[in-house]
Chain A
Amino acid sequence: MLSAAEQSDAPLRLAMRAVASGETEAFRTVAEALDPRLMRLFGQLGVPESERDDLFQEACLRIFRAAASYDSGRPFMPWAFTVARRVMLNWHRARRPTVPLDEAAEVPAQQPTPGACAANDVWAFAQARLSASEYELLWLRYGEDLEPAEIAAVTRRTSVHVRVLLHRARAALAAALTQAGEAQRLNGR
């Protein structure tokens, strides 16, 4: 029996099969399904809003070109995330933001103050406290609801490695949350 996620994936697999057989119009279904997911992914992984449209378009072009290599027996979204993630990594590499040393002291710290951790801001808190790769794994697992095996395929790691990294990231976040809670409690006194 197929899960809900796989059932929602089924039209996309059919559309990709049609695209692979040359029906370009079928790609609209794929693009419509990808748009909100990829825009959210790019936003969460540090792509500024002004760049997301270009990255989305580039990801769509790559997915279209690679349609023939997509195995429709496998879930579509993790495969699309893999392509989109590579596009995003290329963009990050090409960009390499730098700050001149003289101005470096004036760059404001990204970390929120310990007391600023409200429960609804937990993702912003995690982004500020964890490394980029830890945050990415947490996002793919709990934001995009991917299984560790799917995350492993997206990030080119083994499934066990992903589980271990997720465990460490959760532990680091829990420790940071506890520390922030303690600091808030002490400041409140």
Chain B
Amino acid sequence: MKHASHIDDPVERLLKKNAPPPGRPDTRRVARACDAVGRLPRAAAPVLSPRLFVRPLLRLAAGLAVAAGIALLYPRGLRDREPQPVTAPAIASVSVPEEYRKWVGPDLLTDTLATESANLVADLTTLTAVLNERTFAILF
């Protein structure tokens, strides 16, 4: 409705071309419908639907519930407590076993990870290309 669509498919062209046009409004039918609408009791006349307010009210209630929950559950002692200074454990003092250092060299690990990473990137690229191709073939 919003954009002029370019139609390449012959089936689409055939369907659009052969769609029967709408007729003219039938005045008697329209009058009957208007009479029926006019006969509706006052209470059934359009009023602002309560459904319009349900969502904002629910959001407000949810927000209040979360705020009240935080206020109730947050312990008072925690609020007043002074923050403790964070100290890191002395990792450098831990000795690395000599054997382990021999067979897990940094070069070996880096090469393996780099290869794995390259493989993953290649696989993802292929997958994305195939997915795009299939999806666009269906959608456009």
Q: A interface vs B, CB < 8 Å?
A: 3, 5-6, 19-20, 22, 24, 27-28, 31-33, 35-37, 39-40, 53, 56-57, 60-61, 64-69, 75, 77-78, 119-123, 126, 138, 142-143, 145-147, 150, 160, 163-164, 167, 170, 173-174, 177
Contacts and interface: CB of A to CB of B under 8 A. Distances in A.
- Say what secondary structure dominates the interface of chain A: helix
B36 A146 contact: no
Which range holds the interface residue count of chain B?
35 or more
B46 A64 contact: yes
Interface in B62-104: none
A73 to B, nearest CB: 14
Contacts, number: 119
Contact of B22 (A22, A40, A56, A57): A40
A20 B45 CA distance: 9
B39 to A, nearest CB: 10
Interface string B22-62: 11111001101110111010001111110110000000000
A60 B36 contact: yes
A16 B18 CA distance: 32
Nearest to B27: A32
